[in-house]
Amino acid sequence: MAITRLSYASIKVLDLDVAVRHYTEVIGLRLTGRQDGRAYLQAPDSQDHHCVILNRSDSAGLDHVGFKVDDPQDLDEALDAARRHGLDARRRPAGEILGQGEGVTIVLPSKHSIHLFFHSDRVGYAAGPVSHLDHILVVCPDPAPTVAFLKEALDFNVSEQVLDPAGKLFAAFTTVGHTMHNLAMAPGPEGGLHHLAFYVYDRADVIRRVDLLKHRKVPTLQYGLTRHGVAGVTTTYFFDPSGNRNEFQCGAYETPGVPDRVETINWDLPSMGKGTFYYEGAVAPQFYETVS
Ligand SMILES: [Fe+2]
């Protein structure tokens, strides 16, 4: 299997126009299409038609995560692998997702859906305040079976992981690209969304973005600006108008997007205060809240 990159997050929003305003004016994406109750938006450095799809819905949360493959035959391979693992998987025709060719949607053991595709229309580059969609953190009661499938069937690399005192997987940071995580998994309700993260160009940009959020009265996590021990990034969290958590971040180290080239970094649970919030050394209770 050759997944080349995280392409986009498809999320649910309560009011499409309000959400489009947030993702264009606060995040800095540009609208690349609108069709059937969905809006498609692209980050300046994205190579695909969109990096975010907003779906009008009666609740917030994740619809699916899109990954681009290297070869059309990878789609057949992924479909076979999913069925061998007993997972629901189905083909979706070209055009069902605007700007994309046919693809394969797989429902993971965690009940999150990932969609693999080969072709995306190119809409060109543009300047803007964020670089790209960097990663998505999702939650489920037990991340282990999903992480095992991502590793074994789809060749994801686990760059860092958190183990409980019994050595059982508590959280994992997985990647198919050159940044340390594209799809991270932590404990929480089945199919839940914790946040989607946008990369800015340098650490000082994160500070400028916090100023902007405060100026616009966008609700943020109480820490404002902080740093993660995991990944080492400078970061801030805030919410879109539907309650989906967003992140601006910068400073992730590079890592190979294939398994076993570099040993996985292991964290134990007692270290997760500074692993999550390095300066504060403790996790704000609000950070555990998720949307499903
Ligand atoms: Fe993050």
At 266 the pLDDT is 94
Q: Is the pLDDT score of 292 beyond 90?
A: no
Average pLDDT over residues 85-113: 97
Query: pLDDT confidence of 191, banded at 50, 70, 90?
Result: very high
At 257 the pLDDT is 77
Domain at 25, CATH number: 3.10.180.10
pTM of the entire predicted model: 0.95
Choice among 146-150, 242-246, 279-283 with the minimum mean pLDDT: 279-283
Query: pLDDT confidence of 260, banded at 50, 70, 90?
Result: confident
Query: pLDDT confidence of 285, banded at 50, 70, 90?
Result: confident
CA of 203 to the centre of ligand 1 (A): 15
65 occurs within a structural domain = yes
* Residues 185, 223 share a domain: yes
CA of 181 to the centre of ligand 1 (A): 9
Q: Is the pLDDT score of 198 beyond 80?
A: yes
CA of 76 to the centre of ligand 1 (A): 31
Q: Is the pLDDT score of 165 beyond 80?
A: yes
Q: Is the pLDDT score of 222 beyond 90?
A: no
Domain enclosing residue 214, as ranges: 132-289
Average pLDDT over residues 55-74: 97
Q: In the chain, which ranges are E strands?
A: 3-13, 30-35, 38-42, 52-56, 61-69, 89-92, 103-107, 113-117, 132-140, 157-163, 169-175, 183-187, 192-199, 226-227, 234-239, 245-250, 265-268
Choice among 102-111, 227-236, 244-253, 257-266 with the minimum mean pLDDT: 257-266
Q: Is the pLDDT score of 73 beyond 80?
A: yes
* Residues 113, 152 share a domain: no
Q: φ and ψ at 203, to 5 degrees?
A: -60, -35
CA of 183 to the centre of ligand 1 (A): 9
* Residues 154, 49 share a domain: no
Angle at CA 202, nearest 5°, toward 196 and 205?
75
CA of 235 to the centre of ligand 1 (A): 8
- Residues 214 and 163 sit within 8 Å (Cβ to Cβ): no
Q: Is the pLDDT score of 120 beyond 90?
A: yes
Q: Say how many domains are in the chain.
A: 2
At 290 the pLDDT is 85
At 258 the pLDDT is 79
- Among 65, 91, 117, the domain-final residue is 117
At 256 the pLDDT is 83
233 occurs within a structural domain = yes
67's torsion region: left (phi>0), alpha (psi -120 to 50) or beta? beta
* Residues 279, 138 share a domain: yes
Query: pLDDT confidence of 141, banded at 50, 70, 90?
Result: very high
Q: Is the pLDDT score of 101 beyond 90?
A: yes
CA of 83 to the centre of ligand 1 (A): 30
Average pLDDT in the chain = 94
Average pLDDT over residues 105-121: 98
- Among 58, 91, 117, the domain-final residue is 117
Q: Is the pLDDT score of 270 beyond 80?
A: yes
At 291 the pLDDT is 86
247 occurs within a structural domain = yes
**Please, what sign has the CA dihedral across residues 87, 196, 191, 162?**
positive
CA of 229 to the centre of ligand 1 (A): 11
* DSSP letter assigned to residue 103: E
Alpha-carbon span 136 to 192, nearest angstrom: 11
CA of 224 to the centre of ligand 1 (A): 14
Query: pLDDT confidence of 97, banded at 50, 70, 90?
Result: very high
